[in-house]
Amino acid sequence: MIDRISPASLQKIIAGKMSEPGPCVIKFYSNNCHYCISLKDGFHKIASRHPDINFFAFNIQDHPNLDSIIKLNGVPSIVFVKNECCKHDPVNRISILEDPKEPHEVTWYYPGDIIEFIESNK
C-alpha cells in the first residue's frame, strides 16, 4: 500500500522523525506529469513486493518551497530514506535515484532500476 503524504509528514520523514520503524521509499510526482501518471501502477507493484518498506507518494504541488526540504531534479523522483540508522546524517540517510541515461519512454524509470535502487539502499 502506498500512502499519499502531506508536507508535514514529508518533513518528519526527511528529518528522521518517523513514528513507524523501517525504511521509506517516496515517489515525488505531479498531477500534470505524464511519466508520473504512467509510473503509478509499476510503483504499486514494486511496493507490494516489499512489505518491510514504507512506501509513500508526495505531490510536489502540495509544497511550493520543496527545495527547502529536499533537492530533486524534477518529477518523477524516487527517494529512499533510512529511518533507523543515521538519523543525524542526512547525507547517508537519504538517497535519490539518479535520472536514467536512457529514460523509459512511458514511465521515465524502468522498474528494474527502481528495484535495484531499493535493494542497494536497504
Confidence of residue 14 (pLDDT cuts 50, 70, 90): confident
d(CA 26, CA 12): 13
For residue range 54-85, list pLDDT tens digits in order: 999 999 999 988 998 899 999 999 999 987 65
Q: Global pTM?
A: 0.93
pLDDT digits (tens, 9 = 90+) for 81-121: 987 655 555 556 899 999 999 999 999 999 999 999 999 99
In 3D space, the residue among 19, 119, 35 whose CA is nearest the CA of residue 77 turns out to be 35
- The pLDDT confidence band at residue 17, using thresholds 50, 70 and 90, is confident
CATH numeric code, 2-121 = 3.40.30.10
Query: What residue ranges do the domains of the chain occupy?
Result: 2-121
Nearest-angstrom CA–CA distance, 28 and 34 = 13
Helix (H) or strand (E) holding 20: none
